[in-house]
Structure 1
Amino acid sequence: MSKSQADIIAERTAPLFTRKRNTLYWYSVVNDIYDQAYNFFFNIHPRGHRRRSIPLHTLPDYDLATLENVVIALRQSNHLTIEFVGFTGSYWPQAGTLIQKHKEAAE
């Protein structure tokens, strides 16, 4: 039985999520329109130190419905914040809600 995309991401997150004091942890999901891919990153930001962004996974399907299912499964497995980059003006196909409200500084 093959692992789901969310299981792969959670498995790769486990050794990185050390739960240290004064440290922020969150996911970033980036819409790469040039490569037609969704990339997942794990961000670690200890207070007073620089932020690290570690690439975790790229979804093989460039489909918003697939991405929505992966995000739902990730939110059920852990309660980390998920930041979306490159999705301004896009809506989730099933929920019908806006994915990203404001552009990020890097966009």
Structure 2
Amino acid sequence: MDKAWNKETESDKICERIKRNFTNRWRTRYWVSVVYYEPEHGYNLFFNIQPRNTYSRSVSIARLADCEYSELLDIITKVRQTYRFTLNYLNFTDDQVREMRRKFR
């Protein structure tokens, strides 16, 4: 099955989408959520923005269907070289979370 995305260019697209939404405002918290979605065997990435004393806003920045775990690590590594936001992992096994936390300090 052909993939709808390319590993080499996907990290550049993710960085461009983060750049479009990142405003670097005072007293605002920013983080990236990486979510495993089992039915598609893929991952979704969200850029979260929370100004102080307000609700958080979540913006979808990538949807990686039929993505292997090793490919996800490569993509996050390239994005992490540009942006050092906190990463939040959802629906991963404990071993995978531990591995990603060690790798992306």
The interval holding the TM-score normalised by the smaller chain is 0.7 to 0.9
TM-score by length of structure 1 reads 0.79
Larger proportion of helix = 2
Which consecutive residues of structure 1, in runs of 5 or more, have no partner in the other structure? 101-107
Report % sequence identity: 32
CA contact (8 A) 1:6 1:74 kept: yes
Residue number in structure 2 paired with 1:4: 9
How far apart in 2 are the matches of 1:77 and 1:90? 26
How far apart in 2 are the matches of 1:78 and 1:49? 24
TM superposition shift of 1:87? 0.8
Instruction: Name the Cα RMSD after superposition.
Output: 1.9
CA contact (8 A) 2:41 2:65 kept: no
Task: Say if 2:63 is the partner of 1:55.
Answer: no
How far apart in 2 are the matches of 1:91 and 1:83? 12
How far apart in 2 are the matches of 1:35 and 1:61? 6
Count of aligned residue pairs for this structure pair: 95
How far apart in 1 are the matches of 2:95 and 2:37? 14
CA contact (8 A) 2:44 2:64 kept: yes
CA contact (8 A) 2:32 2:85 kept: yes
Q: 1:76 aligns with which of 63, 81, 88?
A: 81
Task: Say if 2:20 is the partner of 1:15.
Answer: yes
CA contact (8 A) 1:87 1:99 kept: no
CA contact (8 A) 1:90 1:98 kept: yes
Task: Say if 2:69 is the partner of 1:64.
Answer: yes
Which consecutive residues of structure 2, in runs of 5 or more, have no partner in the other structure? 1-5
How far apart in 2 are the matches of 1:99 and 1:75? 12
